[in-house]
Structure 1
Amino acid sequence: MKPIFKTVLPLATLLAISGCTMPGSTVDLDNKQVINTTPDESNMSEQELAQTPVNVVNVYPLSPSFVNRYASFAAVEAHSLSNPVLDAEAANYEYIIGRGDILNITVWDHPELTIPSGSYRSAEEAGHWVRADGTIFYPYIGFVEVAGKTTSQVRKDITKRIAKYIESPQIEVNIAAFRSQKAYVTGEVDTPGYQPITNIPLTFLDAINQAGGLTGEADWRNVTLTRQGKSETLSLHDLMQNGDLTQNRLLRKGDIIHVPRNDAQKVFVLGEVKDPKLLKIDRSGMTLTEALSEVGGINELAANATGVFVVRSGQRDKAHEAYLAQVRDQALTDEEKRDLEAKNQQLAEQGKQSRPEHIVANVYQLDISDATALVTGTEFELEPYDVVYVTAAPIVQYNRVVSQLLPTISGLNDLTELAVRIHNW
């Protein structure tokens, strides 16, 4: 039976091993061209190396004091941001007459010129309509160019020309109907449409309010203002919540405000939670504790309570970068600071410079092994595209590895028993 034993044993071993596969899906890179986008620093010159940023991931434990300072830092900075440009534009604002406007011209002590069509018509009906060529017709002096001028300029022009017919004329010019200039508000507002630009300065915030305010689906952090083909993104959140007046603008003819949907305002909750999924951030925002609650909390049997992480792109965390730099500086001991200064000094003497840092991500860690730490999580606001990740406990990771090995071990044990039986047969 030994020849049979020698034949069956390798076959059985091969069958057992063929049943063992690595868990999870994968991508087979065989016969595929892999493009390496990471620069090879070994082939760089010293100058190129000095200019190549070092990728850095910073980790910040979330303590109550850190969260309070972190949350208030951007708001404090925003409160100090005034808008002198807007203030100056509003102070010097004068309405520019355009085609389609209706002017009301009063000549004191001369009602035949002021209300030539009778006293029972409204100012708008009895006014002077600005024609397509930018002119109006006025008795005695004929056609008057008014488009592109202010009411003060038109008043001076008419006064000068009509003085030939009326001694010491006293004339007042105002606008009975504003029809030539409009700004448009579209998207997630209660009443999309146009907003007339009048003699009262119309600001970005005024236009949103006059459109009925935002809907529940509005993304108020990324509102677009388009002017003469150029767009800029403004944050109603910073303007209204933090008082950042630099987000406000004085509107002009043809400006388009678009409030997008908040579909892009989302965070990802992954790892050892009961229901991993994507969550949308509404206008009231979302805290870390709220996100954990939305997914049913952590998996108490598998999660590492000390490993609740929020991973945020360094490019999306610019508002707090100054404060985070302070925290990193304070985290260094005096000895570490002296070593860093000595290293930079040595590089300077050699005509070199320290390599710049590229912050790939900021990682914020919350330890909820004491459940009272969840209160701290209620003060930490999540940002769009944050990744909330809850790690597995070490024992769970060990058990998962063992659970993958057990079928193989069991199969080998069965194979050994089979081999013994065949040998003894």
Structure 2
Amino acid sequence: MTFSTRPRARWVALCVSASMLAGCGLPRTGPTKNEIFAGSVQKQGNAFIVSVDDSVTRATEYVPPLGFSSGLINAAVLGSDTVRPGDTLGLMIWENVDDGLLATAGANSTALQEVQVDGDGFIFVPYAGRIRAAGNTPEAIRRIITEKLEAQTPDPQVMVQRMAGDGATVSLIGGIGAQGVYPIERPTRTLTAMLARAGGITLPPDITQVTLIRGAHTGTIWLVDLYENPSLDIALRAGDRILVEEDERFYTAIGATGAQVKVPFETQSVSAIEALATVGGLNTSLADPTGIFVFRDEEPQVAGRVLGREFSDEQRMVYVLDLTSPNGVFVARDFDIRDGDTVYVTEAPYTQFQKILQAIVAPVGTAASLQSLTE
């Protein structure tokens, strides 16, 4: 028994189409809405799926904990003349005799330049001995030296000057004009003054964070908060490390969007609408505006507010946004995207139907073309 050429071509095309469909070979951007809902906790999955409304938007409001501790904020401004270990002092001593203890012949004054305060906070002055300098002002050190020398030379006159040294310095790195180590001086005793001394900030202000490390304590604030809240302009201490860096938060956009990319935050907060707009919005030929999903590992306290129960660990949450619902665009405008979120837009159902038709029609058309060539 034989088949004509035309029926044979159609039969081959249908077999190829059926094979493609049976193997689920149709291309798509990701899971369908039904497949995502199948992974919910209610269906033995491991994620809570929540439709976003105004109450969910309010419950998910969460500001990352940025700020300085009370210990950093309440530290008093250092006296600009306080001597610290590592500082360098300059001493000038006058003696009211021709042949003094320290002065050379024909001179009645002695200069002791670059006398460094040792690690224990002491300096050594000939005939005065070992003197505690750290924690004292130059004036207090002057009086101590004068009292020590008065017993050995009449009416000594002493002048003490705090020179440049490494005893009270802070280090600045990151997005500033000039990274380096800077001394704490009278004009630069606070954070903003020291940042200005180092050349200012070179990063976009809205996404710049300032971190201060003092021993075992670390605090991070937004740069704009530093200028808006005077209490954050804290007093500096010797050994402080200041890091200025750009916000490292990001979210990922995939699916039927204008672009599928990893997107850094460009402002302190980003709404779902802004997140979609940043990547070119919805793909008008593919996207389903009722199937916009935000995948997130939610903080336990936030998950508890959303679901009305207590959690001790992070929970996998999938938030569903429907732009076609009443108030849907407003809800998406108010719903904040957070660090590490994945924004996924599903394809519209008709898109898969079109792909099925194309998968069937294309082989048939190819077979018809082959038949026309054989005739």
Contact 2:257 2:345 in 1 (8 A): yes
Matched, 1:86 2:72: yes
CA drift of 1:307 comes to 2.3
**Structure 2 SS opposite 1:90:** coil
Matched, 1:327 2:306: yes
Which of these residues, 137, 155, 169, is aligned with residue 151 of structure 1? Answer: 137
Matched, 1:270 2:261: no
Matched, 1:189 2:144: no
Which of these residues, 259, 266, 275, is aligned with residue 282 of structure 1? Answer: 266
Contact 2:128 2:148 in 1 (8 A): no
**Structure 2 SS opposite 1:292:** helix
Contact 2:123 2:131 in 1 (8 A): yes
- 1:88-146 Cα shifts (integer Å, max 9, x gaps): 54268784423452357899x9xxx9xx9xxxxxxxxx8852238676675x7455445
TM-score, normalized by length of structure 1?
0.56
Matched residues in 2 for 1:388 and 1:242: separation? 32
Q: How does 1:355-394 map to 2 (within 5 A)?
A: 358-369=313-324, 373-394=328-349
CA drift of 1:368 comes to 1.8
Which of these residues, 30, 48, 51, is aligned with residue 57 of structure 1? Answer: 48
Matched residues in 1 for 2:77 and 2:16: separation? 85
Aligned partner of 2:322: which letter? D
Matched residues in 1 for 2:285 and 2:217: separation? 50
Residue 208 of structure 1 is matched in structure 2 by 195
Unaligned runs of 5+ in 2: 29-44, 104-110
Contact 2:289 2:322 in 1 (8 A): yes
Matched residues in 2 for 1:191 and 1:403: separation? 61
**Structure 1 SS opposite 2:270:** coil
CA drift of 1:62 comes to 4.3
Contact 1:188 1:218 in 2 (8 A): no
Matched residues in 2 for 1:303 and 1:150: separation? 71
Matched, 1:129 2:114: yes
**Structure 1 SS opposite 2:280:** coil
Aligned partner of 1:326: which letter? R
Contact 1:178 1:196 in 2 (8 A): yes
Contact 1:55 1:358 in 2 (8 A): no
* CA gap 1:69/1:358 in 2 versus in 1, 3 angstroms: closer
Contact 2:258 2:282 in 1 (8 A): yes
Matched residues in 1 for 2:301 and 2:75: separation? 31
Stretch moving more, 81-90 or 290-299: 81-90
Q: Higher strand proportion, which one?
A: 2
Matched residues in 1 for 2:3 and 2:295: separation? 61
* CA gap 1:259/1:136 in 2 versus in 1, 3 angstroms: same
Contact 1:56 1:358 in 2 (8 A): no
| Superposition RMSD in Å | 5.2
Residue 257 of structure 1 is matched in structure 2 by 242
Matched residues in 1 for 2:170 and 2:69: separation? 21
Aligned partner of 1:289: which letter? I
- 1:335-356 Cα shifts (integer Å, max 9, x gaps): xxxxxxxxxxxxxxxxxxx9x6
Matched residues in 2 for 1:362 and 1:147: separation? 60
* CA gap 1:357/1:183 in 2 versus in 1, 3 angstroms: closer
CA drift of 1:220 comes to 5.6
Contact 1:67 1:379 in 2 (8 A): yes
Residue 149 of structure 2 is matched in structure 1 by 162
Matched residues in 1 for 2:296 and 2:192: separation? 30
Q: Higher helix proportion, which one?
A: 1
Matched residues in 2 for 1:365 and 1:205: separation? 43
**Structure 2 SS opposite 1:74:** coil
* CA gap 1:287/1:159 in 2 versus in 1, 3 angstroms: farther
Contact 2:207 2:266 in 1 (8 A): no
Which of these residues, 67, 71, 74, is aligned with residue 63 of structure 2? Answer: 74
- 1:329-377 Cα shifts (integer Å, max 9, x gaps): 2xx8xxxxxxxxxxxxxxxxxxxxx9x6643433333332269744544
Matched residues in 2 for 1:182 and 1:83: separation? 21
CA drift of 1:61 comes to 0.5
Matched residues in 2 for 1:243 and 1:289: separation? 30
TM-score, normalized by length of structure 2?
0.62
